[in-house]
Amino acid sequence: MPGGIKSVVRNNVWSIRFMHQFFSTSNTPSWSVSPPVGHDHAPMFLARQSIQNGDLGKALELITPALPKRDQLTMDTYADLLFLMGEYESAFSIWEDLGDEKSLDDIIKTVTTSHEKEVQILALHSLYNIDPEKYTSLLVDRLRGQKQLDGAVSILNRSIEDFSESPEQTNWLQTLGAIYQEQQLFPEAEAIFQSALERDPNNWKAWLSLGRNYFLKDKDFGKALDCFEKAISIEPTSGPAYNAIGNLYSSSENWGEAIKAYQAAVKFNPEERSYRFSLASAYSATDQFASAIKVYQEIIRQNRNDAYAFFLLSEAYWLNQQPLEAIGSIESSLQLDSSNASFLITAGNYYEQQGLREKALIVYQAVVTIDPQNQVALAALARLGNSN
């Protein structure tokens, strides 16, 4: 067998045995760890083993001489090592150069803490540099979540310009306009939504956003309503559009029209709990407490762990002159959230009104324990003659 072939065979046999040992559950190797002379990837294999053993210093020592070759396996291992050493930008730069979307994607899927979210954004920037069109929306979403709105705007404007024929253009424009609204840059938002509608006049979401912008900018009820109705003419089952109309009428205290709109929103999007809250609130605003009670009960059936829904239900019961039901509901709220001062004070008020002095004292005292300066609870304790 020629010498070159022998060398290749020796290297392959060593690599196979190394990988077998590397992934084995046994800690006792049955072969020599020393690689054959001339095995180019041996430092990488041994560095991987050191990384697995937690010896990052040894791994760095092993891999450093091989770095000038800059082959993919070595650089990938080096990036792993740098990441574990906390040198995130350097690690991400290597994966970016390698076009390694998987390693970067693995990073963004495993973050939990706020510091890790900053690391996630660094990884997303590298993914964006690899494939800007593919990763624009995800990067912008994370930047918005971290309140880095200027950065999100910059990315969106760049992608909108660079990928003018992208199917994502509509979403990018919608998001950019929404960010301008968050920044209260209403003229800029209006221009973006108009641009989206020039691109697609049947974009009902853009009509919806434009209507909201008119109301936020100038309180222009008429223009806002026209836009919302245009959205519905395009998408007749749009819960968000009906909800927007409900909010518009609520702002002018036209509760009858608001209720009709909220009812439609609930009909077309029954899973959206916020529409039911708005509907119940509109019923309460018109003293239709029995109807509000039914809606809150529907909300609770969707999620029996919603302490706030029980709290609002208790208020509706109380206003509907059903004190026992109100007390039962507020107690359900407290079972789910016993440290909420608003819930406790409301319970204390109910108990006090029903002559349940001892129970009232207990909950007011609980408020003072949470917030020693709470004036409502302190006044109630003084009024009830707290012996403590």
pLDDT for residue 84: 87
Per-residue burial over 191-224, b if 16 or more Cβ lie within 10 Å, else e, is ebbeebbeeeeebbbbbbbbbbbbbebeeeeeeb
Of the candidates 166, 222, 217, 151, the residue with the CA atom closest to the CA atom of residue 190: 217
Half-sphere exposure of 388 (CA within 13 A, CB side): 11
Of the candidates 243, 237, 210, 239, the residue with the CA atom closest to the CA atom of residue 226: 210
pLDDT for residue 109: 83
Is 2 a residue whose pLDDT tops 50?
no
What percentage of the chain reaches a pLDDT higher than 90?
73
Using a 10 angstrom Cβ sphere, with 0-12 exposed, 13-18 middle and 19 or more buried, the burial of residue 159 is buried
Of the candidates 87, 85, 86, 92, the residue with the CA atom closest to the CA atom of residue 106: 92
Q: Higher-confidence residue: 110 or 139?
A: 139
DSSP for residue 28: S
* pLDDT (tens digit per residue) in 212-264: 999 999 999 999 999 999 999 999 999 999 999 999 999 999 999 999 999 99
Average pLDDT score over residue span 51-60:
77
Of the candidates 296, 258, 267, the residue with the CA atom closest to the CA atom of residue 280: 296
Is 95 a residue whose pLDDT tops 80?
yes
Using a 10 angstrom Cβ sphere, with 0-12 exposed, 13-18 middle and 19 or more buried, the burial of residue 177 is buried
User: What are the C-alpha distances in Å from 376 to residues 38, 164, 310, 331, 354?
Assistant: 81, 59, 22, 19, 18
The string of DSSP letters for 318-338 reads: HHTT-HHHHHHHHHHHHHH-T
d(CA 187, CA 213): 9
The CB density around residue 120, as the number of other CB atoms within 10 Å, is 22
* pLDDT (tens digit per residue) in 312-337: 999 999 999 999 999 999 999 999 99
Calculate ∠ Cα 67-72-76, nearest 5°. 75
Q: What one-letter code names the amino acid at 177?
A: G
Q: For residues 339, 342, 346 and 352, what is the CA-based torsion angle, rounded to 10 degrees?
A: 70
Half-sphere exposure of 121 (CA within 13 A, CB side): 17
Chain mean position to CA 308 = 21
Question: Is the Cα torsion angle 83, 89, 90, 96 positive or negative in sign?
Answer: positive
The CB density around residue 80, as the number of other CB atoms within 10 Å, is 19
Q: What are the DSSP E strand ranges found in 20-100?
A: none
* pLDDT (tens digit per residue) in 3-53: 443 343 333 333 333 334 444 444 544 444 554 444 455 667 777 777 777
Is 1 a residue whose pLDDT tops 80?
no
Domain ranges of the chain: 1-85, 338-388
* pLDDT (tens digit per residue) in 272-309: 999 999 999 999 999 999 999 999 999 999 999 999 99
Average pLDDT score over residue span 114-138:
91
> Residues 63, 47: contact at Cβ < 8 Å?
yes
Which residue has 């009830």 as its token pair?
Answer: 384
Q: Higher-confidence residue: 114 or 63?
A: 63
Structure confidence at residue 115 as a pLDDT band (50, 70, 90): low
DSSP for residue 68: G
Q: What one-letter code names the amino acid at 346?
A: T
